[in-house]
Chains A and B, each alone.
Chain A
Amino acid sequence: MNLTVFQDLILLFVAGLGTAVVFTRDPTSQAIVISFFGLLLGVMFFIFQAPDVALSQIAVGAVALPLMILLALARVKKQEQEK
C-alpha cells in the first residue's frame, strides 16, 4: 500500500484537530483538546519518519504543555477568587 495515503490522512487530521483547538473557547477544555492535538502531531512526525521529534512532541505537546496550561489556569482562577 502506498505510504503517502497515511501522510495525506494525518495532515488532514492535524488540520482538522488544529481547527478544533481554535474553536474550543473554554480554556480548560482547550487544554484537553490541545493535548490530543499534541499526540496527533507526534503521530504525524512518526509517519514522516522522524521518531526522535515524535517522541519529544508527544512528551511535550501531549503532556507538558497541557499540564502547564492547566496549572496556570488554576493559579489564575485562585487569584480571581481571592479578589
Chain B
Amino acid sequence: MKRRARKLFFFISAVALGLLFALAYHGLPAIGLVESRYGDLVNAITVPERHITDAVTAVNFDVRGFDTLGEEFILFTSVMGVVLLMRRQKDEPGGNHEDKARGRVIPPASDAVRVTALLLVAPTIVFGLYIVAHGQVSPGGGFQGGVILSTASLLLYLCASYSQFRRAAPKRLIEAAEAFGATLYILIGAGGVLLGGLFLENVLPLGKAGTLASSGTVFFINLGVGLEVSGGLVLVLLIYLEELVEEKEQ
C-alpha cells in the first residue's frame, strides 16, 4: 500500500517535472545565438592581450587564475584526505596469510586486455602530454591532460602486474610530483609579486599566439597542474591497490 502510494506520488511528480522541463527547454534561446557581453569581451581580449587562442584557458589560468589555484587545491586536499583515511593503522592486520588461504582468487587479466592495454600505454602518455602542453592553443590543459596521463598508469597495471606498476610508479616519487606540481602554481604566482607586479600576473613574454611557446605563465601553470593532477590520481590508485593487492603478491 505504502509502495503504491509512493509510486503514484513519483509518477505525478515526474509528469509535472517533465512538463515544466519541456516548457523551460522550449523557451531557451538557441545555442550560440545568445548575446553575452562577457563572452564577447573575452573573445576580444584573449588573442591580442594574452596571445592565447583557447579562450577557456585564458579565463581559467589568467583572468581568474586565483580561482583555479583554489580549484587545484580542492583536488590536492581531497587526495590528501584519501591518503589519510586509507593509511595503514598499527593494529590493522595487513597482509595476513590466512586471508590468502581462503581462496579469494582474482582471475588474471585476459590476453586481450593485456595486449590492448600494452598498445595503449605509449599513445596515452603522448596524448596526455600533448593535452597538457597545448592548453593555450586548443581545448585542454593541465587538468584534462593530467587525468589522461594518470590513466596510463592504470593501463600499466592492467597489462603488467602490480609489482611492475609499483616499480614504474614509486610512491615517494608520485608524492613528490604531486606536491611539486601544486607548489609550482604558487611559485609562478609569487613570481609575479617578486617582479613587482601582482600575484599570478602574467609576467613572462607572451610569444606568438597559436604556437606552443605562447601565453607566458599560463603554459607553465598548466605543466604544474598536469603534474599535480596526474600525481594525485596515481597516488589514490596506488593507495587503493596497495590495500587490495599487496598481500596477494607476497
The chain A residues found within 8 Å of chain B, CB to CB, are 3-4, 7, 11, 48-49, 51-56, 59-60, 63-64, 67-68, 71-72, 74-75, 78, 81-82
- In the complex, chain A residues whose CB is within 8 Å of the CB of B151: 59, 63-64
Of B30, B54, B139, B148, the most chain A CB neighbours within 10 A belong to B139
Given contacts A52-B139, A55-B144, A56-B143, contact A67 B154 (CB under 8 A): yes
The chain B residues found within 8 Å of chain A, CB to CB, are 25, 30-32, 54, 56-57, 99, 102, 104, 131, 139-141, 143-144, 147-148, 150-151, 154, 233, 236-237, 240-241, 243-244
Q: Is the CB of A64 within 8 A of B147?
A: yes
Q: Is the CB of B244 within 8 A of A59?
A: no
Q: Which of A52, A64, A72, A82 contacts B140 (CB 8 A)?
A: A52
Given contacts A63-B151, A64-B233, contact A71 B244 (CB under 8 A): yes
Q: Write the chain A residue with the least CB distance to B144.
A: A55
Closest CB pairs A-B (n = 4): A59-B147, A51-B139, A71-B240, A52-B56
- In the complex, chain A residues whose CB is within 8 Å of the CB of B237: 67, 71
Q: Is the CB of B32 within 8 A of A60?
A: no
A11–B141 Cα gap in the complex (Å)? 27
Q: Is the CB of B31 within 8 A of A48?
A: yes
Q: Is the CB of A81 within 8 A of B240?
A: no
Q: Write the chain B residue with the least CB distance to A78.
A: B244
A81–B25 Cα gap in the complex (Å)? 49
Q: Is the CB of B57 within 8 A of A52?
A: yes
A48–B233 Cα gap in the complex (Å)? 28
Of A52, A64, A78, A82, the most chain B CB neighbours within 10 A belong to A52
- In the complex, chain A residues whose CB is within 8 Å of the CB of B102: 81
A71–B99 Cα gap in the complex (Å)? 19
Q: Is the CB of A60 within 8 A of B147?
A: yes
Of B144, B151, B237, the most chain A CB neighbours within 10 A belong to B144
- In the complex, chain A residues whose CB is within 8 Å of the CB of B143: 56
Q: Is the CB of B141 within 8 A of A52?
A: yes
Report the minimal beta-carbon distance from B169 to chain A, rounded to whole angstroms.
15
Report the minimal beta-carbon distance from B134 to chain A, rounded to whole angstroms.
11
23 A–B contacts from the bound complex (CB under 8 Å): A4-B30, A7-B31, A11-B25, A49-B31, A49-B32, A51-B139, A52-B54, A52-B139, A53-B56, A55-B140, A59-B144, A59-B147, A59-B148, A60-B147, A63-B154, A64-B147, A64-B151, A67-B154, A67-B237, A72-B240, A75-B240, A75-B244, A78-B243
